[in-house]
Amino acid sequence: MSEAAPETRTLGLWTGVAFHEQVRGWVQAEAAAEGLELTGEWAQPHARAWSSAIRFETTGGRLWFKVNGVGTGHEPALVQLLSELVPDLVPEVLAVDVDRGWSLTRDGGPMLREVFAPELSWEPWEGLVARYADAQLRLAGDGEAVLATGVREVSPRTLPALARSLLEELVAVPPEGGGLGVEDARRLDDVLPQLDAWCAQLDAFGIPSTVQHDDLHSGNVCWAGSVATARIIDWGDASWGFPLATMLATMNSLAFHAGMYVEGRPVDAPAVLRVRDAYLEAFTAWGSHAELVHLVDLARRTGCVAKALAYRSGLRDAPAGAEAELGFPVRDWLLGLLDE
């Protein structure tokens, strides 16, 4: 870890003049190495507790700088690795500074949700998830390299212990601070044996662990005109685990933006299920369609733990009140284990 790292990972400084000047100098040098010059136009669309991005215009097209906080600090190294192993999946990476949590990539195109209205996006999504599934299977043999980037393993074999540890942590926090009340804690404790059984079922099918994006929605897909040229961004929530758990975020997001999501009810709109089925085509060697659909249901249920852990990591060293402003998502996602 470099001496500058603690400063760059402080949310307030990500929007400060000194940080912007430091970033601009780095981006300018890295762009020059590619034969590019900055035009002077730039913008910072967001600065969140876990990361921030700055857009730079150059003589050779738009570039994106990203800084990750300590809880998502694996992302630069992971994206660099993905650019080597599955280069068609992510935007072109020009530079990374792993110690400072910095990365610089070429623009991958507008967000998918800016190009397609939800009701027109079903066919693109069917192609996208099929490509993504193929990439997951290609990455399944690269666990050692992926884990070396700092990505957490949240697989069926590790998830039960991780859930118990998180439950213990939240029990020690008062409800007004994002912790668990006595009744919720008891109900979660009661469901843990069932969680063990769900994970055992997932593991028994033998589908290999791989990179699981865990936040694959239309705001994290760049559309450059076709399924083949689309690129996936924002790997800060990624884990190494059961691939089908991707369908938790993807199916929920598709249903929500299409006005088909009802909290507490299964996601069962036919258009969403067609996307799910397109994704599952890559996994037919491990089971029948009915068996794979059952595994998606289990993975979506157990995936609540992974989402809770992702928020817990992302909110490390966050400004006071940041978690409350988000509605205490760590607790909220863990309570998702109780949904029927």
Same domain, 126 and 41: no
Same domain, 240 and 121: yes
Q: Can you give the pLDDT at residue 261?
A: 86
Same domain, 242 and 294: yes
Q: pLDDT at residue 4 above 90?
A: no
Q: What is the pTM of this model?
A: 0.94
Same domain, 28 and 96: yes
The full length of the chain comes to: 340
| CATH number of the domain that residue 83 is part of | 3.30.200.20
- Phi, psi (degrees; rounded to nearest 5) at 159: -60, -40
User: Which of these three, 59, 86, 106, is where a domain ends?
Assistant: 106
CB-based contact 240:273 (threshold 8 Å): no
Q: Can you give the pLDDT at residue 11?
A: 59
Reported as a single tens digit per residue, the pLDDT across 86-125 is 999 999 999 999 999 999 999 999 999 999 999 999 999 9
Same domain, 124 and 243: yes
Same domain, 21 and 135: no
Strand ranges (DSSP E) for the chain?
38-47, 51-58, 61-68, 93-97, 102-106, 152-154, 210-212, 221-222, 231-232, 239-241
Q: Can you give the pLDDT at residue 208?
A: 98
What is the rounded distance in angstroms from the CA atom of residue 196 to the CA atom of residue 189?
12
| pLDDT level of residue 310 (50, 70, 90 thresholds) | very high
Same domain, 146 and 230: yes
Same domain, 186 and 289: yes
Reported as a single tens digit per residue, the pLDDT across 311-323 is 999 998 888 788 9
Same domain, 190 and 137: yes
- Cβ contacts of residue 297 below 8 Å, gap of 6+? none
What is the rounded distance in angstroms from the CA atom of residue 79 to the CA atom of residue 209?
18
Host domain of residue 31: 5-106
What would you report as the CA-atom Rg of the chain, rounded to the nearest whole angstrom? Answer: 20
What is the rounded distance in angstroms from the CA atom of residue 219 to the CA atom of residue 195?
31
Q: Can you give the pLDDT at residue 5?
A: 36
Same domain, 233 and 277: yes
Reported as a single tens digit per residue, the pLDDT across 185-220 is 999 999 999 999 999 999 999 999 999 999 999 999
Q: Can you give the pLDDT at residue 91?
A: 98
* Domain tally, the chain: 2
Contacts by residues 47-51 (CB-CB < 8 Å, ≥ 24 positions apart) = 47/11, 47/14, 47/15, 48/11, 49/11, 49/314, 49/315, 49/318, 49/319, 49/322, 50/236, 50/313, 50/314, 50/315, 50/318, 51/75, 51/236
Query: What is the torsion angle, in degrees rounded to the nearest 10, for the CA atoms of residue 224, residue 279, residue 246 and residue 82?
Result: -50
Q: pLDDT at residue 2 above 50?
A: no
Same domain, 224 and 86: no
Same domain, 116 and 264: yes
User: Which of these three, 106, 140, 158, is where a domain ends?
Assistant: 106
Q: What is the mean pLDDT of residues 328-336?
A: 97
> Nearest-CA neighbor of 127 among 112, 107, 114, 139?
112
Angle (CA) 178-184-185 rounded to 5° is: 85
| CATH number of the domain that residue 334 is part of | 3.90.1200
User: Which of these three, 106, 121, 143, is where a domain ends?
Assistant: 106
